[in-house]
Amino acid sequence: MSKVTTSTFLKKKLKKEKITILTAYDYSTAKLLDQGGVDCLLVGDSLGMTMLGYEDTLSVTMADMIHHTKAVVRGTKNAMVVADMPFMSYHVSVEDAIRNAGRLIQEAGAHAVKLEGGSQIKDKIEGIINAQIPIMGHLGLTPQSVNAIGGFKVQGKSEAQAQKLVDEAKLLESLGCFAIVLECIPAKLAKIISESISIPTIGIGAGVDCDGQVLVIQDLLGMYTELTPKFVKQYAVLNGVIEQAVKSYCDEVKDGVFPTEAHTFKIDESILEKLY
């Protein structure tokens, strides 16, 4: 597989080939996912919940994002790495937004950044794209707006909301975003949006007609059970596997069964005899 770039995304949409994205937050997981052939690794600010134990993504900082993005980049060969811009890193001023996006590229090694929202951050998106930094948009349920929305809820169900989403997707396309995440919106609305723009849509809780899909890796592996949204499919239940392994280790240490000779280093007996 060759390196995935923003042009790969557009080519895949034209060829009607689905785009695969998973979140990654560390070196060893990134390496596994990259070798598994996923097109793109998203260093999502969901790391605030899955890696750092916060209840939402609002506490995640630029320092957190840079730290985790560096680790993911070191584990990645072919996949494209996209880093989320955290809450408040692109809300205050255009200058701030460009500088922070630039840090994720220059310091951390990401290939693109993701921002939540449309018209309300239009000037920031323009500034970042003018700095030659590719942007993945994010519409629908935007978790950084959790307090404004009043919880994690499906978006775009009313006519006004649905029309607004279509308009925002067209705006992001016209501003030059290379893809748009659609989170938690009705599948038929996601289909209409996907058909009405030329850049790929990446769905999470947005149905099968998006041009690609993204999932949080801990959700896919059954390792994060604090929230279990309807759109998650567990492809493995690693929680149980890990629990069992830890229990076996504790039992074997307590019983003196581990370590065995195979795990142990030797010394010449004649040296031991000379010790006092």
Shortest CB 200 distance to Na ion, Å = 17
Q: Which of 83, 204, 206, 210 binds ligand KIV (CB under 6 A)?
A: 204
Q: Which residue out of 17, 107, 159, 183 is catalytically annotated? A: 183
Q: Which of ligand KIV, Na ion, none is residue 216 near (CB under 5 to 8 Å by kind)? A: ligand KIV
C-beta separation of 201 from 182 below 8 A: yes
Is 226 part of the annotated catalytic residue set? Answer: no
Q: Which of 141, 165, 181, 185 binds ligand KIV (CB under 6 A)?
A: 181
Q: Within a 10 A sphere around the Cβ of 168, how many other Cβ atoms?
A: 20
Shortest CB 93 distance to ligand KIV, Å = 23
Report residue 161 CA to chain centroid gap. 25
Give, as ranges, the residues between 105 and 164 that touch ligand KIV (CB under 6 A).
none
Q: How far apart are CA 35 and CA 29, in angstroms?
A: 10
Q: Does 44 contact Na ion by CB under 5 A? A: yes
Shortest CB 259 distance to Na ion, Å = 42
C-beta separation of 114 from 84 below 8 A: yes
Q: Which of Na ion, ligand KIV, none is residue 204 near (CB under 5 to 8 Å by kind)? A: ligand KIV
CB nearer Na ion, residue 51 or residue 192: 51
Range in contact with ligand KIV (rule: CB under 6 A) among 39-47, 86-94, 158-166, 261-269: 39-47
Answer yes or no: is 116 a known binding residue: yes
124 burial (CB, 10 Å; 0-12 / 13-18 / 19+) is buried
Answer yes or no: is 84 a known binding residue: yes
Q: Does 211 contact Na ion by CB under 5 A? A: no
Q: Which of Na ion, ligand KIV, none is residue 181 near (CB under 5 to 8 Å by kind)? A: ligand KIV
Q: Are strands 179-183 and 201-204 parallel, antiparallel or unpaired?
A: parallel
What does the angle CA 63 – CA 153 – CA 44 come to, to the nearest 5 degrees?
A: 25
Measured in residues, the chain has a length of: 276
Answer yes or no: is 45 a known binding residue: yes
Answer yes or no: is 254 a known binding residue: no
Q: Does 216 contact ligand KIV by CB under 6 A? A: yes
Q: Does 84 contact Na ion by CB under 5 A? A: yes
Q: Which of 45, 173, 211, 219 binds Na ion (CB under 5 A)?
A: 45
Q: How far apart are CA 267 and CA 152, in angstroms?
A: 60
Give, as ranges, the residues between 42 and 81 that touch ligand KIV (CB under 6 A).
42, 44-46
C-beta separation of 100 from 121 below 8 A: no
Sign of CA dihedral 267, 268, 273, 274: negative
Q: Is 219 left (phi over 0), alpha (psi -120 to 50) or beta?
A: alpha
Q: How far apart are CA 31 and CA 51, in angstroms?
A: 17
Q: How far apart are CA 108 and CA 54, in angstroms?
A: 23
Q: How far apart are CA 101 and CA 98, in angstroms?
A: 5
Q: Does 200 contact ligand KIV by CB under 6 A? A: no
Q: Which residue numbers belong to the known binding site? A: 45-46, 84, 114, 116
Q: Which residue numbers belong to the known binding site for Mg(2+)? A: 45, 84, 116
Q: Which residues here bind ligand KIV, judged by CB under 6 A?
A: 23, 42, 44-46, 84, 181, 183, 204, 214, 216
Active-site residues, by number, are 183
